[in-house]
């Protein structure tokens, strides 16, 4: 019985090793598809906010974020909301209400994320048939974005295509895309998954 168990354990280890070897034979993608995942949403222009002040219904309102990033709250006037988290806005409103309301309890809830649609787009520019700004969809790749732009023109230099991505540190990085190989040879090594805010640029070839 012990011999059988040892044999089964050995087979299991060998199977795992083989799987790991097969997976390791592929080149790791240069771009982490989850690189821009964030846990904190920052309020943008046109977002709709619900401001609730506990036990003070007259101070509780639904307001849009104006183009200047401000919202207007009863009794205290304008408050900066753009670029802040709901918790930060709630804290600022609470501080300003201290002069009028005893121990105010404030909650800020995003009811409509209208600015998010603009930020969650992928743009394709350069020598494509129809430069576009398209909504990001999960699983979208560079090829999907280029095809949505109608493909490349006869004047394009597809193998000099670049993918531009703004990092969390504010620095824009660029990644070379061998689009000609993707389109003509089915080589998907540089058919990177895109992220919201990415820009794909297909340059024109030199004459």
Delimit the domains of the chain by residue range: 48-116, 120-202
Strand duo 199-202 + 121-126: pairing: parallel
pLDDT of residue 92: 96
Contacts of 53 (CB under 8 A, 6+ apart): 59, 60, 93, 97, 101, 104, 105, 106
CATH of 48-116, one of 3.40.50.970, 3.30.1950.10, 3.40.140.10, 3.50.50.60: 3.30.1950.10
CATH of 120-202, one of 3.30.200.20, 3.60.15.10, 3.10.560.10, 3.40.1410.10: 3.10.560.10
pLDDT of residue 88: 95
Same fold, 48-116 and 120-202: no
Q: What is the pLDDT of residues 162-173, one digit of tens each?
A: 999 987 777 899
pLDDT of residue 117: 66
Q: What is the pLDDT of residues 33-49, one digit of tens each?
A: 444 433 467 888 888 99
């Amino acid at each position: 019985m012990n011999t059988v168990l040892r044999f089964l354990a050995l087979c299991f280890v060998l199977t795992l090793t083989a799987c790991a070897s097969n997976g390791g034979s592929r080149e790791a993608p240069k771009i982490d598809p989850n690189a821009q995942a964030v846990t904190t949403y920052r309020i943008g222009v046109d977002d709709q906010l619900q401001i609730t002040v506990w036990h003070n219904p007259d101070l509780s309102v639904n307001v849009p974020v104006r183009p200047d990033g401000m919202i207007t709250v009863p009794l205290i006037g304008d408050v900066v909301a753009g670029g802040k988290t709901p918790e930060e806005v709630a804290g600022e409103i609470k501080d300003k209400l201290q002069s009028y309301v005893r121990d105010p309890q404030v909650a800020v809830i995003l009811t409509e994320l209208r600015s998010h649609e603009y930020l969650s787009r992928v743009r394709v520019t350069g020598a494509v048939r129809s430069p576009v700004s398209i909504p990001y969809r999960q699983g979208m790749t560079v090829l999907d974005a280029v095809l949505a732009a109608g493909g490349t023109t006869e004047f394009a230099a597809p193998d000099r295509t670049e993918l531009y991505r703004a990092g969390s540190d504010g620095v824009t990085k660029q990644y070379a895309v061998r689009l000609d190989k993707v389109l003509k040879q089915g080589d998907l090594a540089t058919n990177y998954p895109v992220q919201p805010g990415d820009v794909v640029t297909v340059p024109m070839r030199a004459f």
